A = this chain, B = another copy of it.
Amino acid sequence: MIENNKMILTATTANSWIYPEVKNWAENLDDLVKDVVECYEAGATIAHVHLPRGQEVETVKRIREQCDIIIQGGMSSDIIPDRKGDFKAKPDMLSIILNHHDEHFTQINVSRLHTLDELEEYCMKCKESKIKPEWEVWNTGSYWNLNYLINKGLLEPPHVLTLFFNWPGGTWSPPTADEYLHRIKYMPPNSLHSVSIMGENQAKIATLAISHGGNVRVGTEDYPFIKRGKPAVNNAEIVAKYVRICKEMDREIADPTEARKIMKLK
Contacts and interface: CB of A to CB of B under 8 A. Distances in A.
B148 A104 contact: yes
Interface in A138-167: 138-145, 148
Given A208-B177, A212-B177, A249-B207, A168 B144 contact: yes
Interface of A: 4, 98-100, 102, 104, 109, 111, 113-116, 138-145, 148, 168-174, 177-182, 185-186, 201, 203-204, 207-208, 210-212, 227-228, 241, 244-245, 248-250
A139 B183 CA distance: 12
A203 B170 contact: no
Nearest to A247: B227
Contacts of A228: 4, 250
B115 A141 contact: no
B182 A169 contact: no
Given A104-B116, A182-B179, A173 B203 contact: no
A145 B174 contact: no
